Chain A
Amino acid sequence: MFTRDQLDALQEIFNIAMGQGANRLARLIETFVVLSAPKLYSLKSQADPELSKRLGDTPIIATRQSFVGPLRGEVVIFFGMNGANELAELMGYSQDGGDAQRIKEELILDVTNILVGACITGLSQQLNFTKSSFSTPGLLVEGKTVAEALENQRLPQDSEALLVEIQFKIEAHAFFCELLICIANESIATVVTAVDKLLKGV
């Protein structure tokens, strides 16, 4: 799907976009966020065995949010099972009480909104696309493996997927998350053209 140079450029573009995401996340939780160097994998589909291989078979929480505009697709974010608890704790919410589960879900969805917004907006800005619109983020699964989470969530036939493996870690906490970006084929061609233009200009 992508050449090595195109993947290198996209990886750097996502790196910059995720840096902005980390900055927003850090402001939300008032804690320094440690960013890893992103790795990008081109996948044939969400069912690509590489995905489970990369993300393992430990239980996760998965959220999703779609985007439309010059770029069309969907981002799925995988959080560690303790991610919501860690966030709630960082933000001073009690882990007990009837509202605890609702608060944790809201936090995970807030973080999804921040990261997907930063990722797709960052991609759009750097490749000179107009802004995308976003759906409301939703919870996909909780307490299942990646394979189970995606079992009934096949990509549309005209889509391709990019796995952006980037870890957001919070020092002294177990919080981490990874992003799966699914881009519609029609948008892939647009991205490839824009990346080639960027590469040509350097």
Chain B
Amino acid sequence: MTMNIVIADDSSLSRRMVMNALPPQLSDVEITFARNGKEAMDAYYAGKADVMFLDLTMPEMDGYTVLKKLKEAEANTIVCVISADIQPEAQQRVLALGAACFIGKPVTTELLRKRIHDIGLL
């Protein structure tokens, strides 16, 4: 079954880095890019968000708001937050809002694949 993945980040460099770091075992995937939280939520409403790689600091709608909206909607989306904001409290806040994991930027292929394995996507 196709896995719908959203990569939400305002940086095109980061979006590409995350896409390239996805493990080759995840072959049957459909990737949607979102440049802000609003586009990420649009992807969710369109049924395209089984998994979401989510940045926190984005224009228009930030990652915290996306997490709150997904929580309110009781969404089944598995969210992996990838953020430059590495304050321990930021990590606690996103986990409390339902994120499955947190990865501090700059993201490495090795770490991303480990987290994907840890949260059971493989």
Chain A residues with a Cβ under 8 A of chain B: 5, 8-9, 11-12, 15-20, 22-23, 26, 32-33, 35-38, 126, 198-199, 202
A202 to B15, CA, bound (A): 10
A35→B58 CA distance, assembly (Å) = 10
C-alpha gap A198/B13 in the complex (Å): 9
| Cβ–Cβ < 8 Å partners of B59 in chain A | 37
Q: For A12, A22, A33, A38, which residue has the most chain B Cβ atoms within 10 angstroms?
A: A12
A19 to B83, CA, bound (A): 8
**Chain A-chain B contacts (Cβ-Cβ < 8 Å), number:** 57
Chain A neighbourhood of B86, CB < 8 A: 19-20, 23
CB-CB under 8 A for A15 and B11, given A37-B57, A126-B106: yes
- Interface residue ranges of B24-62 to A (CB < 8 Å): 56-59, 62
Nearest chain B CB to A54 CB, angstrom units: 15
Known: A202-B13, A202-B20. Contact between A15 and B57, CB under 8 A? yes
Listed in ascending order, the chain B residues whose CB lies under 8 Å from chain A are 10-14, 16-17, 20, 56-59, 62, 83-87, 89-90, 104-106
* In-complex Cβ contact of A36 among B17, B57, B87 (8 A): B57
B contact face: mostly helix, strand, loop, or mixed? loop
Tell me, in angstroms, the Cα distance from A20 to B85 when the chains sit together.
7
From A35, A37, A202, residue with most partner B Cβ within 10 Å: A37
Is the pair B13, A22 in contact by a Cβ cutoff of 8 Å? no
Is the pair B20, A16 in contact by a Cβ cutoff of 8 Å?
no
Contact between A35 and B13, CB atoms less than 8 A apart:
no
